[in-house]
Structure 1
Amino acid sequence: MKRMKIGIISGGHGGLAVLNLLLSIPEVEVMWVADLDADAPAMIRAREAGVPETNDFIPLLADKDLHMVIEVTGLDSVKALIYQHKPEHLLVMESEEAKLLITIVKHKEETSRQLVKNAEKLAGYIEEINASAQLIRDRMKQLTDEAEKLAERGEELTRTSKTAATEAEKTQEILRFIEEITKTTKIIGINAAIEASRVGKEGQGFAVVAAEIGRLAEDSGKSNKEIAKITHNIVKFMENIHLGIAQSKDVAKNQVTAAAEVLAILEKLADVSLQLQELSNNLLEL
């Protein structure tokens, strides 16, 4: 596509605004900027951009490749010189028309400044989001690790409680065996007492032994009942522990699941943050 070639007459701030606008349009080529003051803002910008500069625009008006000149000074004398020396094909944008262009440029610059400001704010928010997300991610990972350890510990305690319950059951079997012995001892004591009474004085020593056997059987029975009561309580206690461990395991598993869900949300948040970062970069490039 053929580029439109334009000359700018004015090195002041108005000329600078027009120059910056035209430099941003690929379809436009700025042929030159004219002003008597070589240090005027638009002249300095032209040098920076590699655009030719001049203090005498009249000879340049005859360039056949030149499509338009934009007169930004607003001076009638300058306007008169342009119309006096311009070829018939050359278009002229006078200062009144250029003012609208300058207004558009200023509005665009202000909009760009606001976009940059908002983009910088957005970038700051993104940094805060990323920092918060990373902190949450670290905490959730710690929570997950602790929950997994709790679950593992729960498994160990479950095995331990089952073993203890098994041993308590074995104790019950031993107590039942002792109870049988106690019953047998009682019978022996009763028989011994009967035999001692039958033989009279000669069996008095035997009667003492029979009494001791009976007392031993009675004490053994009481001890056996106490031990049975204790072991029964131990079994119940271990059952409660086992139940508590099972509940703890469920809680730990729920924590792991919840942590996984939160981490998934954080991943989505990271994606959103990345998209916001791209948007911020795009705004800064406008």
Structure 2
Amino acid sequence: MALHQTGESEIAYGLKDLIDLDFLQRFQDSFSKAMGMASLTVDDKGPVTAPSNFTTFCMDLTRNTPEGARRCNECDLKGGKEAARTGRPAIYYCHGGLMDFAAPIVVEGRQIGSMLGGQVLPQPPDEAKFRRLAAELGIDPEIYVAAVRKIRVVPEESIRAAAELLYIVANALSAIGYQKLQVMKRVEEFEEMAVTIRDDADLLYQKVEEVDSQVGNLTMTTDKLKTATETSLKKVKETDEILRFIRSVADKTKLLGLNASIEAARAGEAGRGFNVVAKEVGSLASVSIESAGKIDKTLRSIQVGMSDIEEGVRQTGGVVDAHQAKMKEIRQKIDQFKELAKELQELTLELREKVKM
């Protein structure tokens, strides 16, 4: 008995991937013992189970001769082709008059194996016929007839029912196995997804740490700039006090120069030289006052600019603080993300173990 090759392209799974072969062997043995029939399961590469309840007539005598093996293979091929064509059990007579059947195992419209059975007679044997067959195959007729007498006689209706039973059970098992295989593939995809999520989360966490480090450096720079700005404003205020002192001195000097000019005028010709000095002192005082005004104006402009810088630094500090708070939230979310990825991995592993049961 052989599985018919459909000639279709190779598929990604086989019978061994879908059905537990130990369970299948136990079922096949129990079936053969209960029904009194031979049974064997095959895929496209050959048997996947050990023969169950095979007869001496078939295995030790008929198939043990070259001609008998050739004829048996032809019969098996014919039955396999019919099962593949219809997708249903094929019941057929072998060349020796025994009844066999092939129950195809079909998944998603593709035949991946067959459960073969039979080696029974639907009615008592015609011994004369078997003596002639023995002569054709070169077998001792007496031994051949003695072997055929041991073959169980089973009504054809029961043989067809047995073939249907094998077909239903085998395809139910393969369907369950196929679903398990699909679940396993999904589990593998989820496992890969969980690993990818975890790796991406680790990378994202690393990037967040880098950004946070840069923000920390910005905070330090901002703090230094704020300190420098406060120091500069303090220096400007100190300069303001110096300017007030210069103005006060310049005003007094100007007044002193004016008084000196008045006294020089009173002195007449004798005070003329002193008057020149007094005018120069007054002129110098005026220039000092004018320069102090310009410096004051410049310092006021600097003070306004420094105040703007101080305000900008303050606002920047607020933005940086808010950014650091957001980075902290992001890290917390990433940690939750990683935890979910870990749980997903654990769940997929648990699901994998359950599917294997």
TM-score between the two structures when normalised by the length of structure 2? 0.59
Q: 1:21 to 1:36 in 2, by over 3 A?
A: closer
Amino acid corresponding to residue 126 of structure 1 in structure 2: A
Q: Does 1:75 align with 2:118?
A: yes
Amino acid corresponding to residue 20 of structure 2 in structure 1: N
Amino acid corresponding to residue 23 of structure 1 in structure 2: F
Deviation at 1:234, TM superposition (A): 1.8
Aligned to 2:271: 203
The whole-number CA distance in structure 2 between the counterparts of 1:252 and 1:155 is: 11
Cα deviation, 1:249-282, whole Å, max 9, x if unaligned, reads 1111111111111111111111221122123323
Greater relative CO (CA pairs within 8 A, separation 6+): 1
Contact conserved, 2:195 with 2:345, CA < 8 A, in 1?
A: no
- Equivalent residue of 1:43, what SS? coil
Cα deviation, 1:228-256, whole Å, max 9, x if unaligned, reads 11111222222111111111111111111
Q: 1:36 to 1:226 in 2, by over 3 A?
A: closer
Q: 1:265 to 1:161 in 2, by over 3 A?
A: same
Aligned to 2:130: none
Contact conserved, 1:17 with 1:106, CA < 8 A, in 2?
A: no
Contact conserved, 1:119 with 1:283, CA < 8 A, in 2?
A: yes
Aligned to 2:67: none
Amino acid corresponding to residue 172 of structure 2 in structure 1: I
Amino acid corresponding to residue 208 of structure 2 in structure 1: M
The equivalent position to 1:113 in structure 2, one of 166, 181, 185, is 181
Amino acid corresponding to residue 217 of structure 1 in structure 2: A
Count of matched residue pairs: 245
Deviation at 1:31, TM superposition (A): 6.8
Aligned to 1:189: 257
The whole-number CA distance in structure 2 between the counterparts of 1:106 and 1:165 is: 86
Which residues of 2 match residues 86-165 of structure 1 at below 5 A?
94-165=162-233
Deviation at 1:55, TM superposition (A): 4.4
Which residues of 2 match residues 1-286 of structure 1 at below 5 A?
20=20, 23=23, 40-43=47-50, 55=54, 73-75=116-118, 77=120, 94-285=162-353, 286=355
Q: 1:99 to 1:22 in 2, by over 3 A?
A: farther
Q: 1:228 to 1:79 in 2, by over 3 A?
A: farther
RMSD across aligned positions (CA): 3.6
Q: 1:37 to 1:136 in 2, by over 3 A?
A: closer
The whole-number CA distance in structure 2 between the counterparts of 1:147 and 1:111 is: 52
TM-score between the two structures when normalised by the length of structure 1? 0.73
Structure 2 gaps of 5+ residues are 5-14, 33-37, 57-102, 104-114, 124-149, 155-160
Contact conserved, 1:147 with 1:253, CA < 8 A, in 2?
A: no
Contact conserved, 1:11 with 1:41, CA < 8 A, in 2?
A: no
The whole-number CA distance in structure 1 between the counterparts of 2:17 and 2:122 is: 20
Contact conserved, 1:12 with 1:41, CA < 8 A, in 2?
A: no
Q: 1:36 to 1:175 in 2, by over 3 A?
A: closer
The whole-number CA distance in structure 2 between the counterparts of 1:18 and 1:224 is: 99
Q: 1:96 to 1:129 in 2, by over 3 A?
A: same
The whole-number CA distance in structure 1 between the counterparts of 2:21 and 2:237 is: 93
Contact conserved, 2:40 with 2:116, CA < 8 A, in 1?
A: no
Instruction: Pick which of 129-138 and 159-168 moved more.
Output: 129-138
Aligned to 1:64: none
